[in-house]
Amino acid sequence: MSRSHRITLSGLDFIPDLSGALFVPEFKALLVADLHLEKGTSLARRGVHLPPYDTRESLLQLQAAVEATKPRRLIFLGDSFHDGDARERIDTSDLALLRAITARAETVWITGNHDAALKDRCGGMVVEEAVVDGLVLRHEADRGDDRPELSGHFHPKLRIHVRGKQVARRCFVATPRKIVLPAFGALTGGLDVDHPALVEAVGQGAEALIPVDQRLLRFPIAA
């Protein structure tokens, strides 16, 4: 794969995928953020009824990413479950699929604001933050931390005009010191990349990155 399709941070190359996954060839790790499993059933509790297939769709996409990259490590960057009861609401077949996925690699679950209290993640270890080869892995970007950092939380998306129509696409956000992953989940929505909260979190010099056809489209984000 050409280097033009990669994001470089702290001397390491990262390969982004349109699904929102990020692969690190140096230590064969696959990272995903914000699956929000069982968001559909959570919405149903509040009277918003959608087809209850978001968890299955997210897991099938995750399974495909794992099969394509064959990682040694699978790292979730927080909000993998939509709430503290989500683990108990998962359909038994989806639960079996999740266990099969996490059994294929050393699995690390970073906690997020939605699932901080959830202990049983179906395999692997649960931590608040992690440091891997000098990279800080956490759920939400910390502008005050100068170390190289990978995070999620903001569900970044970019609005662009294509043939006279405005479309929105999930995207990565990168600066020389930080990468924010898009949400991987099927029902997660997104926050515009120029939203003040996201700009404040990552600082100056950020770009929105969209992987397309073995290349990376880059869009500067105005501060």
User: What span, in angstroms and rounded, lies between the C-alpha atoms of 148 and 175?
Assistant: 10
The domains of the chain, with CATH numbers, are: 3-220 (3.60.21)
User: What span, in angstroms and rounded, lies between the C-alpha atoms of 22 and 97?
Assistant: 21
Q: Write out the two tokens for 180.
A: 């924010």
Query: pTM for the complete prediction?
Result: 0.91
- The C-alpha R_g of the chain, in whole angstroms, comes to 17
pLDDT at 213: 80
Query: 206 near 196, Cβ under 8 Å?
Result: no
Provide the residue-wise pLDDT of the chain in tens; the chain has 223 residues: 345 588 999 889 999 998 999 999 999 999 999 998 887 676 656 666 666 678 899 999 999 999 999 999 999 999 988 777 777 788 889 999 999 999 999 999 999 988 887 776 688 899 999 999 899 999 999 999 999 999 999 999 998 877 788 888 999 999 999 999 999 987 777 899 999 999 999 998 899 999 988 789 999 997 6
Element (H, E) at 92: helix 92-102
